[in-house]
A and B are shown apart, each in its own frame.
Chain A
């Protein structure tokens, strides 16, 4: 059994363990055995509502969203060949947030919120790609254009937050922090559909990405269509990020951080490492959500706050080390 396979098995075991903890822990006490029983074979019964409506979908959504974000981050970092890039840094999440905050602050029907957030994320990604295209494509330019777009959209959000009454603004601020606490089975279904379409493509793109990392000339010589491959990688990466932001809101730092951990544990990108990245993403988001629920219980923090608070300092450390090596 290779190192990567061992790590994947360990991560999968961690996910299972954390999922059980997620089912058991909460304001309403349930024993481990009855929690698992209620979730899996003995549906109905005393704990049915707490487990099957509140906790189980939340755990499933955390796992799926973690996978989406981590894979998306790994694709972006491999594409731009810069370990500091992720969809949230270049403004994809801000695009979704601008649309979602608009709906919440203006007070429109919240049923459209996920669609608006998705459209915002995809639109922003398209805009960044178009604007950073200039006689071909450069990763550095994409990042800088993304940072510019991010600033512009932040200004839009600021305007919305200042313009509208505080009650609605506070709902918008809460959405922006990214929370899993209202997750439902329909959220999980959306994520499953997104993953089913995009994850296989992500694995198919790995070979091209590895060739592209050898340099543009080498990739061309080996017959990889550069611009088409880049467009495909960006589409898949943005798609994964957009699905998550539409369902649970912006969750910072998961996409940025998890690929680093996977790389440090298992080496450069390959199919196995991408699988490990996906599993570690689920581990990180599950544990962040558990901390968010229990740290200041009964006050529930948004999971995004925990991922940022924990992930940020680690990231600064990574950044420093990367810069030193570069």
Chain B
């Protein structure tokens, strides 16, 4: 087993490196790899290509990586702790909550920069997730997949219609918000990274060390208690991590769906059910999916761009349907 990881872990790392390079290389302005290399190691301010890489594409790539890791690890933790194959931040209402909070901020406080949205998005994601979980976990049987998905869909629909009402009241708000609402990592500066990097870094480290506890929990409440685990405490810490990761990710990249759902499943199908590895690989492959989707979005309708959220949904929704049609759903 360990030998297998000795091969596949460097492979995953190499994939991430390549996707990162592609993200620096491709865009509206074609820039060759040598210029990208120079921009990083031998920065020359007078070269336009290097300036574009340094000022636009490096922040974009970093944000894509952080947000991808945030979504994917949050999804992996949710799936493990709730024993729910559909556990993922987007399905649980984080995106709708963040969208509602951001649109409210644009409408009532006149905030217009992505950096200004950050805390509103974070708070909205937190509120919506807590609400969905409370609604779905009432009653015997706890939060089953169908209950969680429906509670998430209902809360999302509710927040969505309130968001729509605000957008209707004011044309300017609609014009401002529609690009953020699509889910995008372009046009972001380093400010968001500086604000959220500590949050996401701490949550990622904690999540990476929680693999063993999540393994026990994923076998069921009784087994975990029998193994001497304080399940309530583990759940609470995992919950905090999920909110911190998904909240920061949505604050940086906007409501991007399906990275958190799809990546842990892909990882699980390769490395098996051990959450110590699932969480680690999710942290590497999540950025690959988000950045990969972003690069595709830049190329597919060039010279304009397709927002990363749209590409992710176009790839992820068929994946969700495939998942639901499979028999694995009941087994997890």
Give complex CA distance A150, B324 in Å: 14
Q: Is B240 an interface residue (CB 8 A)?
A: no
**Chain A contacts for B146, CB-based, 8 A:** 82, 140, 143-144
Q: Is A316 an interface residue (CB 8 A)?
A: yes
Query: CB distance B136 to A323 under 8 Å?
Result: yes
**Chain B contacts for A326, CB-based, 8 A:** 139-141, 147
Q: Is B317 an interface residue (CB 8 A)?
A: yes
Closest to A152 in B: B317
Closest to A153 in B: B317
Query: CB distance A144 to B161 under 8 Å?
Result: no
Give complex CA distance A309, B160 in Å: 10
Query: CB distance A84 to B168 under 8 Å?
Result: no
Query: CB distance B182 to A302 under 8 Å?
Result: no
Stretch at the interface among B60-68, B221-229, B302-310: B302-310
Q: Is B162 an interface residue (CB 8 A)?
A: yes
Q: Is A304 an interface residue (CB 8 A)?
A: yes
Q: C-beta contact mask, A122-143 vs B, less than 8 Å → 1, else 0?
A: 0000000001101000001101
Q: Is A272 an interface residue (CB 8 A)?
A: no
Q: C-beta contact mask, B131-150 vs A, less than 8 Å → 1, else 0?
A: 10011111111000111011
Q: C-beta contact mask, B169-194 vs A, less than 8 Å → 1, else 0?
A: 00100110011011100000000000
Query: CB distance B149 to A147 under 8 Å?
Result: yes
Q: Is A305 an interface residue (CB 8 A)?
A: yes
Known: A155-B313, A173-B168, A309-B165. A148 touches B139 (CB 8 A): no
**Chain A contacts for B183, CB-based, 8 A:** 158
Query: CB distance B314 to A173 under 8 Å?
Result: no
Q: Is A87 an interface residue (CB 8 A)?
A: no
Number of A residues contacting the other chain (C-beta, 8 Å)?
53
Known: A82-B146, A320-B135. A162 touches B317 (CB 8 A): no
Q: Is B245 an interface residue (CB 8 A)?
A: no
Known: A176-B164, A316-B154, A316-B155. A141 touches B324 (CB 8 A): yes
Give min CB distance, A205 to chain B, whole Å.
24
Known: A143-B146, A147-B91, A169-B174. A89 touches B154 (CB 8 A): yes
Query: CB distance A323 to B320 under 8 Å?
Result: no
Choose from A145, A147, A169, A170 the contact partner of B153 (Cβ within 8 Å): A147
Q: Is A26 an interface residue (CB 8 A)?
A: no
**Chain A contacts for B131, CB-based, 8 A:** 316
Q: C-beta contact mask, B198-223 vs A, less than 8 Å → 1, else 0?
A: 00000000000000000000000000
In this complex, the interface size class of chain B, counting residues with CB under 8 Å from chain A, is 35 or more
Give complex CA distance A31, B258 in Å: 56
Closest to B330 in A: A140
Q: Is A222 an interface residue (CB 8 A)?
A: no
Give complex CA distance A309, B179 in Å: 25
**Chain B contacts for A163, CB-based, 8 A:** 304
Query: CB distance B313 to A177 under 8 Å?
Result: no
Give min CB distance, A302 to chain B, whole Å.
7
Known: A170-B174, A305-B168, A308-B157. A148 touches B320 (CB 8 A): yes
Q: Is B284 an interface residue (CB 8 A)?
A: no
Q: Is A282 an interface residue (CB 8 A)?
A: no
Q: Is A174 an interface residue (CB 8 A)?
A: yes
**Chain B contacts for A176, CB-based, 8 A:** 164
Known: A89-B157, A144-B324, A315-B154. A166 touches B174 (CB 8 A): yes
Query: CB distance A144 to B149 under 8 Å?
Result: yes
Q: Is B328 an interface residue (CB 8 A)?
A: no
Give min CB distance, A307 to chain B, whole Å.
8
Give min CB distance, B274 to chain A, whole Å.
26
Q: C-beta contact mask, A240-273 vs B, less than 8 Å → 1, else 0?
A: 0000000000001100100000000000000000
Q: C-beta contact mask, A290-320 vs B, less than 8 Å → 1, else 0?
A: 0000000000011011001100110110011
**Chain B contacts for A302, CB-based, 8 A:** 165, 168
Closest 7 CB pairs of A and B: A308-B161, A155-B313, A312-B158, A152-B317, A323-B139, A148-B320, A305-B165
Which residues of A come within 8 Å of B, CB atoms? 82, 84-85, 88-89, 131-132, 134, 140-141, 143-145, 147-152, 154-155, 158-159, 161-163, 166, 169-170, 173-174, 176-177, 252-253, 256, 301-302, 304-305, 308-309, 312-313, 315-316, 319-320, 322-326
**Given contacts A148-B324, A159-B306, could you give 5 more A-B pairs where the C-beta distance is less than 8 Å?**
A151-B320, A158-B310, A304-B164, A308-B158, A326-B140
Which residues of B come within 8 Å of A, CB atoms? 86, 90-91, 131, 134-141, 145-147, 149-151, 153-155, 157-158, 161-162, 164-165, 167-168, 171, 174-175, 178-179, 181-183, 257-258, 304, 306-307, 309-310, 313-314, 316-318, 320-321, 324-325
Q: List 26 A-B contacts (CB under 8 A).
A: A82-B150, A144-B145, A147-B149, A148-B320, A150-B153, A151-B313, A155-B257, A155-B314, A158-B307, A158-B309, A159-B306, A166-B174, A169-B174, A173-B164, A173-B167, A174-B168, A177-B161, A177-B165, A256-B154, A301-B168, A308-B161, A312-B161, A323-B139, A323-B147, A325-B139, A326-B139
